[in-house]
């Protein structure tokens, strides 16, 4: 089975995230998770966002849950000595990210929605999102095998949605089959369906230590000069392959694409308000004018058609109840 519409209805927290029309329930807070104990380190390019070890992350998420942030996206940040050419560590059940997922699920069960990033770039020594073949190209199908292993390991830990951010062709189909064959029939897939090769990801790559050592991501992430047809094709393809949520990324510079895609697809649409967009606002505005700008932007995501909004601003805005 490729499409299981019940996945998005599985828990009340998933239904609230996806089907409620309010901005507040659409928000997802991203987190960067490192190994160790007591780590709570500012990321200089992303004011207010930190790298945290699992013990501190649990405290952060406890206070997030109290202010009504129930959806969380986790990214693993990995020590360079643990990286290799195949991102082997990323699919280890013993990794700190999987540990975080298990502990959060133990504590909050169905009350929390956990999304995990499924990509190779934070765990490869060359920083690319895939397996590099002999002529320095990213091998699509070899990469998919590794993505399936990572997705399965996250599903086993209890992730609600595995979020494929790699942009290999056909990976949603393979991940869906892997989940089905292993009995994970209520685990969702959030696909980064329309992900442009964007300069707006710069601060994230500092935070996640995932910059490519050579070359760029242009052979898999989308060309920002490409038209709506390409965006619609990618989204329809992922919809058919079994994605439960289709994402467009970045957000602010691509709201026209969000609307075009939303008008064509039958699955919920997410936007990722990415690191560069976040830093731009944080560095340009202060106080009340910053709040107003953020709220204006969040409204623009809704208007464009976003059902789900992944944003680093979530905590700041909800902690002061600025959405009413």
Active site residues: 195, 249
Q: Site size for ligand PBG, by CB under 6 A? A: 11
- Rounded CA-CA distance 265/280 in Å is 31
At 212, list the tokens: 């490519």
Nearest residue (CB) to ligand PBG, 161 versus 204: 204
Task: Look up tokens 């990323």; give the residue.
Answer: 90
Give, in degrees to the nearest 5, the angle at Cα 292 between 286 and 294. 85
**How buried is 229 (Cβ within 10 angstroms: 0-12 exposed, 13-18 middle, 19+ buried)?**
exposed
> Following DSSP, what letter does each residue of 100-169 receive, concatenated?
HHHHHHHHHGGG-EEEEEE-STTTBTT--SSEE-TTS-EEHHHHHHHHHHHHHHHHHHT-SEEEE-S--T
Q: By CB under 6 A, is residue 184 in contact with ligand PBG? A: no
CA neighbours closer than 13 Å in the CB half-sphere of residue 191: 28
Instruction: Give the residue from 299, 287, 301 showing the smallest Cα distance to 324.
Output: 299
Could you tell me the smallest distance in angstroms from the CB atom of residue 253 to ligand PBG?
A: 12
Could you tell me the smallest distance in angstroms from the CB atom of residue 42 to ligand PBG?
A: 16
Judged by CB under 6 A, which stretch of 37-45, 176-184, 201-209, 235-243 contacts ligand PBG? 201-209
Nearest residue (CB) to ligand PBG, 190 versus 304: 190
Judged by CB under 6 A, which stretch of 169-177, 198-206, 239-247, 255-263 contacts ligand PBG? 198-206
Q: Which residues contact 110 (CB under 8 A, 6 or more apart)?
A: 11, 12, 13
Q: By CB under 6 A, is residue 165 in contact with ligand PBG? A: yes
Nearest residue (CB) to ligand PBG, 4 versus 252: 252
- Rounded CA-CA distance 10/207 in Å is 32
Could you tell me the smallest distance in angstroms from the CB atom of residue 222 to ligand PBG?
A: 11
Could you tell me the smallest distance in angstroms from the CB atom of residue 37 to ligand PBG?
A: 26
Q: By CB under 6 A, is residue 275 in contact with ligand PBG? A: yes
Nearest residue (CB) to ligand PBG, 121 versus 258: 121
Could you tell me the smallest distance in angstroms from the CB atom of residue 211 to ligand PBG?
A: 8
Nearest residue (CB) to ligand PBG, 163 versus 174: 163
Instruction: Give the residue from 159, 182, 208 showing the smallest Cα distance to 31.
Output: 208
Task: Look up tokens 């949520």; give the residue.
Answer: 245
Q: By CB under 6 A, is residue 50 in contact with ligand PBG? A: no
Q: By CB under 6 A, is residue 201 in contact with ligand PBG? A: yes
Q: By CB under 6 A, is residue 241 in contact with ligand PBG? A: no
Out of 89, 90, 121, 306, point to the residue binding ligand PBG (CB under 6 A): 121
Could you tell me the smallest distance in angstroms from the CB atom of residue 130 to ligand PBG?
A: 10
Instruction: Give the residue from 212, 220, 203 showing the smallest Cα distance to 147.
Output: 220
Q: Which residues contact 182 (CB under 8 A, 6 or more apart)?
A: 152, 155, 156
Site for ligand PBG, residues 204 to 223, rule: CB under 6 A: 204-205, 217
DSSP code for 196: B
Judged by CB under 6 A, which stretch of 78-86, 116-124, 145-153, 177-185 contacts ligand PBG? 116-124
Nearest residue (CB) to ligand PBG, 119 versus 222: 119
Binding site for ligand PBG (CB under 6 A): 117, 119, 121, 129, 165, 201, 204-205, 217, 274-275
């Amino acid at each position: 089975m490729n499409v299981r519409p019940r996945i998005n209805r599985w828990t009340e927290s998933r239904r609230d995230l996806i089907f409620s029309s309010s901005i507040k329930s659409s928000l997802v807070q991203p987190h960067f998770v490192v190994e160790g104990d007591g780590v709570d380190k500012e990321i200089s390019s992303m004011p207010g966002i930190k790298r945290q070890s699992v013990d501190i992350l649990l405290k952060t998420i406890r206070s997030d849950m109290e202010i009504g942030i129930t959806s969380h996206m986790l990214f693993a940040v990995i020590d360079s000595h643990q990286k290799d050419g195949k991102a082997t560590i990323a699919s280890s059940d013993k990794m700190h990210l999987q540990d975080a997922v298990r502990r959060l699920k133990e504590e909050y069960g169905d009350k929390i929605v956990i999304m995990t990033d499924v990509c190779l770039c934070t765990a490869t020594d060359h920083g690319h999102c895939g397996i590099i073949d002999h002529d320095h190209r990213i091998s699509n199908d070899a990469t998919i095998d590794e993505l399936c292993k990572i997705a399965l390991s996250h599903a086993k830990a209890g992730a609600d949605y595995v979020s494929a951010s790699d942009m290999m062709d056909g990976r949603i189909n393979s991940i869906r089959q892997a989940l089905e064959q292993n009995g994970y029939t209520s685990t969702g897939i959030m696909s980064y369906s329309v992900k442009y090769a964007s300069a707006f990801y710069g601060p994230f790559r500092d935070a996640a230590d995932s910059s490519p050592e050579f070359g760029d991501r242009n052979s898999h992430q989308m060309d920002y000069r490409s038209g709506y047809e390409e965006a619609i094709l990618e989204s329809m393809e992922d919809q058919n392959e079994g994605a439960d949520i289709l994402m467009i990324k970045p957000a602010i510079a691509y709201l026209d694409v969000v609307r075009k895609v939303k008008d064509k697809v039958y699955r919920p649409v997410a936007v990722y308000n990415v690191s560069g967009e976040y830093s731009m606002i944080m560095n340009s505005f202060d106080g009340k004018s910053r709040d107003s700008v953020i709220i204006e932007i969040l409204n623009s995501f809704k208007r464009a058609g976003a059902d789900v909004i992944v944003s680093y601003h979530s905590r700041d805005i909800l902690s002061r109840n600025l959405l009413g």
